[in-house]
Amino acid sequence: MRKSLFFILVLSTSVIFILRLFYLQVYATEPYSIYEDNAIRKVYTYPKRGYIYDRNGKLLVSNQPSYDVMIIPGEVKALDTTEFCGLLKISKEYFLNKVERTSNYSRRIPSVFLAHLSKKDYGFLAEKIRKYEGFYIQKRNLREYNTNIGANVLGYVAEANRSNIEKDPYYSTGDIIGKQGVELSYEKYLRGEKGIKFIQKDRFNRDIGSFNNGESDINSIAGNDLTITIDSDLQAYGELLMKNKKGAIVAIEPSTGELLSLVSAPSYNPNLLVGRERSKNYYELYKDSIYKPLIDKGLLSTFPAGSPFKIIVGLIALQENAVSDKTTIYCDGAYIYGRNKKSMKCHCGGGYRNIYNGISQSCNSYFAEVYRKTINMDNDVSRNFDKWSVNVKSFGLGNFLNNDLPVGKKGIIPDSEFYNKWYPDFRWGPTTNLSNAIGQGEILVTPIQLANMMASVANKGYYYTPHIIKNIEGDSIDRRFRGKNIIKIDKQHFEKIEIGLKEVYASGTGKLLNVPGIEICGKSGTAENFTRLNGKKTQLTDHSIFVAYAPKEEPKIAIAVLVENGYYGSTWAGRITSLMIEKYLKGGITLKKIEKLVINKSLENEYLKPFSGKPFSINKL
Partner 1 sequence: MIGQRKNKLKLDWIVISLYFILVGFGVGNILSSSISGEEIYLFDLTKLYGKQFIYVFISLFIGFIAMSIDVKFYERFSSLFYLISILLLICLFFFGKRVNGALSWFPIGSFNLQPSEFVKITVALAVSKYISDYQTDLRRITDQAKLFLIILIPILIIILQNDTGSSIVFFSLFLVLYREGISQNYIKSIFAIIILSIITLKFSFLTSSIFAIISTIIYYFFKGKTKNKIIKIIGVSVLCLATCYTTNYSYNNILKNHQKNYIKVWLNLEKDPLKIKKMEKTILYNINESKKAISSGGLTGKGYLKGTRTMGNFVPAQHSDYIFSTVGEEWGFLGSVFIILLYTLLILRILYLSEHQKNKFSRVYGYSTASILFIHFLINIGMVLGLTPTIGIPLPFLSYGGSSLIAFTILLFVFLRLDANKINEW
The one-letter code for the residue type at 111 is: S
Is 173 exposed, middle or buried, given 0-12, 13-18 or 19+ CB atoms closer than 10 A? exposed
Write the DSSP symbol of residue 253. E
Q: Is there binding between residue 62 and partner 1 (CB under 8 A)?
A: no
Among 26, 215, 339, 617, binds partner 1 (CB under 8 A): 26
Among 20, 89, 119, 188, binds partner 1 (CB under 8 A): 20
Q: Which is nearer to partner 1, 32 or 476 (CB)?
A: 32
Q: Is there binding between residue 126 and partner 1 (CB under 8 A)?
A: no
Q: Is there binding between residue 621 and partner 1 (CB under 8 A)?
A: no
Render the burial of 447-484: b for 16+ CB within 10 Å, e for the rest: bbbbbbbbbbbbbbbbbbbbbbbbbbeeeebeeebeee
Assign 458 to helix, strand or coil: helix
In sequence order, the 6+-apart residues with CB closer than 8 A to the CB of 474 are 224
We find the least distance from the C-beta atom of residue 196 to partner 1, in angstroms, to be 15
Q: Is there binding between residue 3 and partner 1 (CB under 8 A)?
A: yes
| Candidate segments 11-19, 66-74, 301-309, 355-363, binder of partner 1 by CB under 8 A | 11-19
Rounded Cα distance between 260 and 235, Å, is: 8
Give me the DSSP letters along 22-82.
IIIIIIS-PPP-TTT-TTEEEEEEPPPPPPEE-TTS-EEEEEEEEEEEEE-GGGPPP--HH
Q: Which is nearer to partner 1, 8 or 597 (CB)?
A: 8
Assign 616 to helix, strand or coil: coil
Q: Is there binding between residue 35 and partner 1 (CB under 8 A)?
A: no
Rounded Cα distance between 289 and 292, Å, is: 5
We find the least distance from the C-beta atom of residue 52 to partner 1, in angstroms, to be 41
Instruction: Establish whether the linkage from the previous residue to 551 is cis, with ω within 30° of 0.
Output: yes
Q: Is there binding between residue 106 and partner 1 (CB under 8 A)?
A: no
Q: Is there binding between residue 597 and partner 1 (CB under 8 A)?
A: no
We find the least distance from the C-beta atom of residue 198 to partner 1, in angstroms, to be 9
Strand partners, 273: none
Q: Which is nearer to partner 1, 13 or 269 (CB)?
A: 13
151 and 267 Cβ atoms separated by less than 8 Å: yes
Rounded Cα distance between 68 and 448, Å, is: 41
Q: Is there binding between residue 40 and partner 1 (CB under 8 A)?
A: yes
We find the least distance from the C-beta atom of residue 207 to partner 1, in angstroms, to be 10
363 and 507 Cβ atoms separated by less than 8 Å: no
| Candidate segments 8-16, 53-61, 236-244, 500-508, binder of partner 1 by CB under 8 A | 8-16
Q: Is there binding between residue 8 and partner 1 (CB under 8 A)?
A: no
Q: Which is nearer to partner 1, 37 or 75 (CB)?
A: 37
- 197-236 residues near partner 1, rule: CB under 8 A: 200-203, 208-213
Q: Which is nearer to partner 1, 22 or 422 (CB)?
A: 22
Instruction: Establish whether the linkage from the previous residue to 31 is cis, with ω within 30° of 0.
Output: no
Q: Is there binding between residue 25 and partner 1 (CB under 8 A)?
A: yes
521 closest CA partner among 578, 572, 567, 571: 578
Phi, psi for 261 (deg, rounded to 5): -155, 150
Q: Is there binding between residue 100 and partner 1 (CB under 8 A)?
A: no
Q: Where are the beta strands (DSSP E) in 326-411?
A: 329-331, 334-337, 342-345, 351-353
Count residues near partner 1 (CB under 8 A): 36
Q: Is there binding between residue 474 and partner 1 (CB under 8 A)?
A: no
477 and 470 Cβ atoms separated by less than 8 Å: yes
Q: Which is nearer to partner 1, 13 or 91 (CB)?
A: 13
Q: Which is nearer to partner 1, 39 or 512 (CB)?
A: 39
Rounded Cα distance between 481 and 470, Å, is: 10
Phi, psi for 81 (deg, rounded to 5): -60, -45
We find the least distance from the C-beta atom of residue 224 to partner 1, in angstroms, to be 35
Q: Which is nearer to partner 1, 5 or 621 (CB)?
A: 5
Q: Is there binding between residue 43 and partner 1 (CB under 8 A)?
A: no
Among 2, 139, 345, 479, binds partner 1 (CB under 8 A): 2
Q: Is there binding between residue 109 and partner 1 (CB under 8 A)?
A: no
We find the least distance from the C-beta atom of residue 35 to partner 1, in angstroms, to be 12
Q: Is there binding between residue 614 and partner 1 (CB under 8 A)?
A: no
Q: How many CA atoms within 13 Å lie on the side-chain side of 450?
A: 36
In sequence order, the 6+-apart residues with CB closer than 8 A to the CB of 271 are 145, 148
Q: Which is nearer to partner 1, 13 or 590 (CB)?
A: 13
Rounded Cα distance between 551 and 303, Å, is: 27
Q: Which is nearer to partner 1, 26 or 621 (CB)?
A: 26
We find the least distance from the C-beta atom of residue 106 to partner 1, in angstroms, to be 16
Q: Is there binding between residue 164 and partner 1 (CB under 8 A)?
A: no
Rounded Cα distance between 359 and 424, Å, is: 34
Q: Which is nearer to partner 1, 164 or 210 (CB)?
A: 210
Q: Is there binding between residue 486 and partner 1 (CB under 8 A)?
A: no
Q: Which is nearer to partner 1, 11 or 597 (CB)?
A: 11
We find the least distance from the C-beta atom of residue 200 to partner 1, in angstroms, to be 5
We find the least distance from the C-beta atom of residue 76 to partner 1, in angstroms, to be 23
**H or E element in which residue 559 lies:** strand 557-563
Assign 249 to helix, strand or coil: strand
Give me the DSSP letters along 179-199.
-SHHHHHTHHHHH-B-EEEEE
Q: Which is nearer to partner 1, 11 or 126 (CB)?
A: 11
Q: Is there binding between residue 9 and partner 1 (CB under 8 A)?
A: yes
| Candidate segments 25-33, 406-414, 431-439, 471-479, binder of partner 1 by CB under 8 A | 25-33
We find the least distance from the C-beta atom of residue 446 to partner 1, in angstroms, to be 56
Q: Is there binding between residue 32 and partner 1 (CB under 8 A)?
A: yes
Binding site for partner 1 (CB under 8 A): 2-3, 5-7, 9-11, 13-14, 16-18, 20-22, 24-26, 28-29, 31-32, 37, 39-40, 200-203, 208-213
